[in-house]
A and B are shown apart, each in its own frame.
Chain A
Amino acid sequence: MQKFVRHILVFTGCLASCMLMVAAWNALRPVNQKTLKSNIITLGDSHMACAFNPRFFPGAQNISQTAEPLIASYHKLKYLYSHGAQADTVILGISYNTFSAYNDLKFYKAPWAQNQLKRLCPIMDLHNFKPYQVDTNIYYREKFKQLFIVPQLGPATYIGEYKRKEFHLDKANLKEKIEDHFFIDSVNSHALSTASKLYLDSLIHLSKRSNFTLYLVSLPVHKDYLSEVPSKFKLALTNALDKFGNRSITFEELDFPDSLFADYDHLNHKGARVFTKSLKKKLKESAQKADLN
């Protein structure tokens, strides 16, 4: 019996030692150098992840991730710039759903909470999530795993990348998408997310403190999707773009036919090519205007 207990304790000690080694590796690992050295960073949620292809914009890196709310974008940038990020330009992609209050549920409700907290727990303490409600069990569990169990070998959990999408517009369900983004049930729409507005302002302040130029880009959506978006979310987007003035970029004048969409609110890889090249051109024009002024 004593031998058994001794063996269990010794094994537990070995296990703990391995976990401490993993923790040391993770703690001492430098912040992603590619991201720190990029000239231009693009971030946002899945709309930006699918729309911006760095292949057509050398020197830029797309760190967008699916379902990323603005609080995550803010803390990612804050973390990167506190560790010496050099990008002088940051492009934040938003869409109509960015200001929907369903974003406020992403840290305590399935199916988002686990993924979101897994990504963000290395760079955000619990109090950083205010005013969002957080599932603290998941937070601590994921923090423990990210520190002691998973040796970080690839890009950090909070660094996203471009996601290539194929054409699936013919199979997409518009009604379901609209309901997910904007409605609590079939009748009542979500409120506007005050936290999203708050963090948009925080991003503007961060850009001034960290000395980078922040652009706000409204991602193109299919006209059928646009026609179903409740007007208060359209107004919220318009107000956000107005706040950024000549640092806001839209693509209303461009025609994005069906063949460029993966579904009703995401571009496919062909759409990403058109979008990225157009964005590059618009940024150049914007920079030239700023120089003239």
Chain B
Amino acid sequence: MLFNSLEFSIFLPVVFILYWLIGSKNIRWQNLLILISSYVFYGWWSAEFLILIALSSATDYLIGRGLGLYTKKSIRKLLVILSLSINLGVLIYFKYSDFFINSFIESFRFFGYELEPRSLNIVLPVGISFYTFQTLSYTLDVYRGVIQPTRNALSFFSYVSFFPQLVAGPIERAKSLLPQFERERSFNFVKGRSAARQILWGLFKKIVIADNCAKLANEIFANYQDYDSGMLILGAIYFTFQIYGDFSGYSDIAIGTARLFGFTLMTNFKYPYFSRDIAEFWRRWHISLSTWFRDYLYIPLGGSRLGKALSIRNIFIIFLISGLWHGANWTFIFWGFLNAAYFLPLYLRGVNRKHLKDPGMGGLQNTLYEVLLIVTTFCFTVVAWIFFRSDSINMGFEYLFNIFDFRFNPVQLQFIKYIPLIVILVIWEWVMRLKPHGLAFTRTPKPARWGIYLVLCFSIIYFFGEEQEFIYFQF
């Protein structure tokens, strides 16, 4: 079930009404409703893959209980290894089997040996990368003593399968989300209004911005050899805003929906295209994933505490694995490598934590300088996205080299018709950059607010039905 579908527009109000009719005092019944509705939500795509979520949940619930029972280090370590093996094993099997097989065959071909191509044709379960990391975070946090293992199976299963963030994040930590399943949730008008606004903003970014950019990005990338430099630059920009609108839009809908049920999810995007350097970009883009890798991979590997050489190694490992997490293709790994290459000079110069405050907070001169930094960082990001979007690394390089041919033909109107939408989005988000999302008004008069909501609703309904699937579902 997609967030931007008619089914969800019926599903959500029904679940919402039932949830609050049950009452905030009946936590068990509310959790049961969440569990059932989450399984219905996920099963709408593929009922057979519900078994995987149930398996992942059961595995880590039992391992969590085991970690609570046993104090002996060797047994605890064994239990964690078991959790990692099962969860990552399932993830690797479904997501990377064909990739490894094909890479194996390609490497033999490189040395002149032909192997018979084989494909397992495995269907990738939607959201597997997200919920796997979420359950792993529970096991690892219990192992490290950050949280106590839960005895409440219902809470745990609900936490893993919680439908707003099940298939495309944010990847929640057990220490912040699981306790919310074990205590009373409250709802009030202010929270509900804020949640509804965030959902509306998310739908706007997804349906109006991302899906329209996708149409043109797909056309240009599919026929990149026929287009001149100007069109290729447009294609890259369209994809840049497609992936932002798609993913941050989904996150906004997820966070807003969770708030309707009294849950608080972490912020996943903080206006990343206003970053002044790549280090800041990675503090603002897909925050739940980058912090997950920081806490469960980078720091255990030693982080930056083991000298420059090992720090550099760790940085590359994180970015390469982050790339690989996004998909089973060398283009994603290369995208990760590029980001590591961008990040490294900042780290080596010790300026990777220079821009911690929000942009545009100084005087005019300072702001103009920051705008220059923002534009530069944006350009580097766009170059990396070209590889992310391309079918192969070769295609990415070809696309890039074709841009630097500097051939410019007159642009056809059909290819610039969505540029005004992008400009409006950028300006709007710059104005709202200190707020949690684009509709977090504080002092706007009600008629103006409602006028904006109506315009957004009309634009969403107008473009509804021409949807593209959420990009991050394939991860």
Contacts and interface: CB of A to CB of B under 8 A. Distances in A.
Interface string B180-199: 00000001110011001000
A11 B461 contact: no
A18 B458 contact: yes
Interface stretch (A1-9, A38-46, A56-64): A1-9
B473 interface: no
Contacts of A114: 466
A1 B20 contact: yes
A240 B295 CA distance: 74
Contacts of B453: 11
B108 interface: no
A74 to B, nearest CB: 27
Contact of B193 (A7, A138, A141, A145): A7
A4 B450 contact: no
A14 B192 contact: no
Nearest to B196: A8
A11 to B, nearest CB: 7
B454 interface: yes
A149 B458 contact: yes
Interface in B429-459: 450, 453-454, 457-458
B461 A145 contact: yes
Interface in B1-41: 20
Contacts of B464: 141
B192 A150 contact: no
A105 interface: no
B267 to A, nearest CB: 23
A15 interface: yes
B23 to A, nearest CB: 11
A3 B192 CA distance: 10
B462 A145 contact: yes
B302 interface: no
By CB atoms of chain B within 10 A, which of A3, A4, A114, A150 has the most? A4
Q: Is the interface of B mostly helix, strand, loop or mixed?
A: helix
A3 B226 CA distance: 56
B454 A4 contact: no
Given A8-B196, A149-B461, A149-B462, A15 B189 contact: no
Contacts of B193: 4, 7
A11 B450 contact: yes
B89 interface: no
Contact of B189 (A3, A145, A149, A171): A3
Nearest to B226: A171
Given A18-B458, A145-B461, A1 B466 contact: no
A17 to B, nearest CB: 10
A15 B20 contact: no
B345 interface: no
A7 B187 CA distance: 15
Contacts of B461: 145, 149
B43 interface: no
Contacts of A4: 187-189, 192-193, 196
A14 B450 contact: yes
Contact of A14 (B189, B196, B454, B462): B454
B145 interface: no
Interface string B218-239: 0000000010000000000000
Contact of B462 (A1, A7, A18, A150): A150
Range, interface on chain A: 10 to 19
A15 B457 contact: yes
Nearest to A141: B465
B454 A1 contact: no
A149 B466 CA distance: 15
A1 B192 contact: yes
Contacts of B188: 1, 4
A114 B188 CA distance: 42
Interface in A157-186: 171
A7 B457 CA distance: 15
Contact of A138 (B189, B196, B450, B465): B465
Contacts of B458: 18, 149
B461 to A, nearest CB: 5
Contacts of A138: 465
A149 B456 CA distance: 12
Contacts of A1: 20, 187-189, 192
A1 B189 CA distance: 6
B37 to A, nearest CB: 19
A195 to B, nearest CB: 26
Interface in B102-133: none
Nearest to B457: A15
A1 B186 CA distance: 10
A141 to B, nearest CB: 5
A114 B211 CA distance: 15
A229 B458 CA distance: 46
A7 B465 contact: no
B100 to A, nearest CB: 34
Given A1-B20, A1-B192, A4-B192, A15 B462 contact: no
A150 B464 CA distance: 13
Interface string A10-37: 0100110010000000000000000000
B261 to A, nearest CB: 12
A15 B192 contact: no
A60 B13 CA distance: 54
Contact of A7 (B20, B189, B226, B454): B189
Contacts of A11: 450, 453
Nearest to A3: B189
Contacts of A145: 461-462
A130 to B, nearest CB: 24
A149 B464 CA distance: 11
A181 B466 CA distance: 25
A175 to B, nearest CB: 15
A18 B192 contact: no
* Central interface residue in A1, A3, A150, A171, by most chain B CB within 10 Å: A1
Nearest to A137: B465
Interface of A: 1, 3-4, 7-8, 11, 14-15, 18, 114, 137-138, 141, 145, 149-150, 171
21 contacts: A1-B20, A1-B188, A1-B192, A3-B189, A4-B187, A4-B188, A4-B192, A7-B189, A7-B193, A14-B450, A15-B454, A15-B457, A18-B458, A137-B465, A138-B465, A145-B461, A145-B462, A149-B461, A149-B462, A150-B462, A171-B226
Return the 5 tightest CB-CB contacts between A and B, nearest first: A4-B192, A3-B189, A141-B465, A4-B189, A149-B462
Given A4-B196, A15-B457, 4 more contacts: A1-B187, A4-B189, A137-B465, A145-B462
